[in-house]
Amino acid sequence: MATLILHPGKEKSVLRHHPWLFSGAVDRLEGRARPGDTVDVASAAGRPLARAAWSPSSQIRARIWSFDAEDVIDHAFFKRRVAAAVARRKSLPELDGQHGLRLIHAESDGLPGIIADRYGDTVVLQLSSAGAEKWRGAIVDSLLKATGGTRVYERSDLDLRSLEGLEPVTGWRHGQAADEELVIEENGVRLGVDIVDGHKTGFYLDQRDNRRRVAELAAGRRVLNCFCYTGGFSLQALAGGAREVVSIDSSGPALESARRNLALNPPLDAGRAIWLEADVFGELRNLRAAGERYDLIILDPPKFAHTAAHAERAARAYKDINLLGLQLLAPGGLLMTYSCSGGISAELFQKIVAGAALDAGRAARIVQHLHGAADHPVDLAFPEGEYLKGLLLQVD
């Protein structure tokens, strides 16, 4: 096995159990290793530290599988890690009975580059690193054993695979598509999930608890849901008794899916739902010019900053969208605003929103800090795992 030798002092992050080793920390590789191969990690003084997956094409040169330098990275390793991740979810009462559930949350479950979501008896797998790619077979087998699922579909088509020198990969790894539409129930609302062409693995499971919060807040309110995708927040607002729900997205197919989701829930009043296909930034300016006002506004935009290098440009976009949202709120209204950009910290996001409120001339208070659901844990040693951050604000 090849050994990755670190520069002097660069072992500190490993000793703190941070799972990434960047190119600047690496002195040399002793021996030969192909992308995804397991390598030993050692300090400059030769002290064994960990075992990791080698990725020469990425700025993250190695992702650590185990901080036990004697651990064997084999099929049994993945069986143990996957089983442990599934068991952790089973131990949390709030996740009991969920039809849609994240089973593996990458680094925060000790499995860098691996995401697995379950929708009923279908598991959707996403591999984003060279190490995960190498162990695909073991990961699929471990998921089947740990979950009892009958189908595994791979959605390894995310852009960041190119940073690892990997091509997009999709397709069935076990079983085949069911004849009927894949439908889950979340907080009493039925939702269709497109695992083949939908965003991420088919749905945004991380917002489950926040969608329930919308249902709790929506009664009698006029609601505006921006970047609505397939209508998860919108349907929860209707279920909560909203007077009207206006939903905006630039994707016609996503809005068609949202309408189909509404049709899956006959008790919900479709007459209270308005769907607008438009650029959200432009449409918000049109609504502002028309003098429209809303009691609850949801801003859940796509990722504006993939890394910290894009933070400045992303900050302008976040400020612009929050400024418009704050200007459209009625007195006493609520703004639920999010960032899913890993390059934007929670502290920076709050500063951006505060600046938007100042420019909008609105006094606003934080009612609640919002986060991902419990099946999206964040390892204490890996703060980068907390990509989703949100604020619930009330304005004067």
User: How far is the C-alpha of 185 from the C-alpha of 97, rounded, in Å?
Assistant: 10
Helix (H, G, I), strand (E, B) or coil at 18: coil
- Dump the DSSP string for 55-81: -TTSSEEEEEEES-TT---SHHHHHHH
Of the CA atoms within 13 Å of residue 29, those in its CB half-sphere come to 20
Question: Among residues 35, 65, 61, 37, which one has the least CA distance to residue 50?
Answer: 65
Taking the alpha carbons at both ends of the chain, their separation in whole angstroms is: 63
Find the helix or strand (DSSP H, E) in which 13 lies: helix 12-15
* Whether residue 226 lies in the annotated active site: no
DSSP-derived letter for residue 354 is H
All residues at 6 or more sequence positions from 380 whose CB lies less than 8 Å from its CB, including other chains: none
Catalytic residue among 340, 348, 391, 393: 340
Residue in the block written with tokens 């960041």 = 160
- Dump the DSSP string for 89-158: HHT-GGGTT-SEEEEEEGGGGT-TTEEEEEETTEEEEEE-SHHHHHTHHHHHHHHHHHH--SEEEEEE--
User: How far is the C-alpha of 38 from the C-alpha of 68, rounded, in Å?
Assistant: 13
Q: Catalytic amino acids?
A: 340
